[in-house]
Amino acid sequence: MKQRPAPPSPSDAASALDGLAHALASLEDPADIRAFLEDLCTPAELEAMGDRWRVVPELLQGLPYREIHDRTQVSVTTIGRVARSLERGAGGYRAAARRLGLSNDSH
């Protein structure tokens, strides 16, 4: 049976995530970013991330979860997860939404 290596240490994982963040930040053209994401992620991962991002503006408008689901067909569970991230997450959704003019709040 094939043995899996030990998971990376927290510092190695943080370093890898930092490297990924820097790689994304280095790309300015949305077409380059899309190509990078298509190389990096599986189709299912891209769909999941797209679904999450698609509900951010709707949540920022204060729409009810069921209405968002009816509009987007994104699961209510996913909508709830995004809403929790908007409220208690690292602030990435809100920062991106502000930069794109989707939100004017200062949370």
- Taken in order of first residue, the domains within the chain and their CATH numbers are 30-99 (1.10.1270.10)
Per-residue pLDDT at 1: 61
Of 29, 50, 46, the closest CA to residue 37 belongs to: 46
Q: Is the pLDDT of residue 3 over 90?
A: no
In DSSP notation, 90-105 reads -SHHHHHHHHTTS---
Q: Is the pLDDT of residue 62 over 90?
A: yes
Other CB atoms within 10 Å distance of the CB of residue 39: 7
pLDDT band with cut points at 50, 70 and 90 for residue 10: confident
What does the mean pLDDT of the chain come to? Answer: 93
Query: Could you tell me how far CA 7 lies from the centroid of its own chain?
Result: 23
Per-residue pLDDT at 107: 54
Structure tokens at 19: 């490297």
- Amino acid, res. 86: L
The answer to whether the pTM exceeds 0.85 is no
Q: Is the pLDDT of residue 105 over 70?
A: no
